[in-house]
Amino acid sequence: MSTKRSKVYVAMSPKKSLRDSTGQAGGGEKLKAYVAMSGGVDSSVAAALLAKQGCDITGVFFKPWLSPDGRAFCNWQEDKRDAARVAAKLGIRFKVWDFSKEYGEKVTKYMVSSYRGGITPNPDVMCNKEIKFGLFLKKALAEGADYIATGHYVRLCHRDANLRMHANNANKKINKFATFAWNSQHSHRTYHLLQARDNNKDQSYFLWTLTQKQLKYCLFPIGDYAKPEVRKLAKKFGLANYAKKDSQGVCFVGQLDVKNFLKEYIKPKAGEIKLLETRKIIGRHDGVYYYTIGQRHGLDIKTGGGPYFVVSKDIKKNIIYVTSNEKNLATDFAEIKKINWVGRQPALPVKVGIKIRYRGESIPAEIGKGAKPGVLAVKFKKPARAVTSGQSAVFYRGQVVLGGGIII
């Protein structure tokens, strides 16, 4: 894999301007960054890159959310030790902050209430909005930080008042990342989120809720690196976790069996599974809330044929409808609510690419005003499969994240 860098766009804080690439602010004061450190390789390298650049770094580990009976869904004590070891290796301060109560209030309740209402939420999107770029950002700034940084695979750029895109050429030395300095006199700037250079790791889908006020304090140091390069950097910097496996669980929680988790909050309620085309009963389920549109596995269907996919749910009657014809999962229309535009809202209608799931393709579409205030209507240029209420629809123009919303 080539190590040639594309241009990296990392916007800096309005408080101070970088004098050079050593992390020095005007007047020689070091820039302060609080880095969210999970114990994984990505956030560790993010901290290392900033530290190598000369910034004043504080690593912060978040204590995870625990179930009401005190159970953890990940080995968080080990993750905390890994993060602490990296901080010690880099010679940076290290703190442990507990947002678990707030996570329960803002994310867990949202997740449970969404499922109870028959929709499928994305807790990682809400975690980023409320915890990482909400509470963490607020507390870090209150302690004097100039920025927060995370290990997200995403890039950031800005345009000035003359609509010129600003970025500097990437530094080929692996112990630095490109930054663009700005100061408080440049107040008319619009920040843009861009997809990561590594398409396989791009996490821009989860960050569509970010606002201009948040982005001006954010750094994403690894957005211009591919995952193998990040691991090489970790090894070069002497970080013990350079080969640690990536976490695959829910943000702030860990590995989670969603169905078993929901059963602790939503009592099972047996019901019928019917074939969409004939309305014939072909199986049973233990709770309509536990299933999502497009789901194939975990269906108790005794009849032959198939495979069968969940195509719709009747919450009031507690009925799940399935189909063996995947064409019944396709639609060329959707409605979106709770819209956030990362930058300026474009004039409607507007042609965009839309992702309706993290690993999904970007589908060409046109967005226009919906039938109700605060709702957008989406017309897909080709049928989209399993458009699911509660999931995020994220709008792209090329590599730029325009914004997003929640599918109705």
Catalytically active residues, by annotation: 127, 251
> Is residue 81 within 8 Å of residue 39, measured between CB atoms?
yes
Tell me the Cα Rg of the chain: 23
Q: Residues near 387 by Cβ (< 8 Å), separated by ≥ 6?
A: 293, 331, 334, 356, 407
Q: Rounded distance, CA 215 to CA 194, Å? A: 12
Burial of 373 (0-12, 13-18, 19+ CB in 10 A): exposed
Q: To 5 degrees, how large is the angle CA 155–CA 161–CA 167?
A: 30
Report the distance separating Cα 379 and Cα 367, nearest Å: 7
Q: Where are the beta strands (DSSP E) in 164-298?
A: 165-166, 190-195, 218-219, 271-275, 281-285
Q: Which residues contact 100 (CB under 8 A, 6 or more apart)?
A: 63, 64, 65, 66, 252
- Give bridge partners of residue 321 from the DSSP assignment: 274, 312
SS3 content of the chain, % helix, strand, coil (to 5): 25, 30, 45
Are the beta carbons of 210 and 193 closer than 8 angstroms? yes
Secondary structure class of 208 (helix, strand, coil): coil
Rounded Cα distance, 137 and 205, in Å: 20
Length of the chain: 408
Cα distances (Å, whole numbers) of residue 394 to 183, 228, 399:
31, 27, 12
351 Rama sector, left if φ>0, alpha if ψ -120 to 50, beta otherwise: beta
Please tell me the number of Cα atoms within 13 Å of 24 on its side-chain side.
7
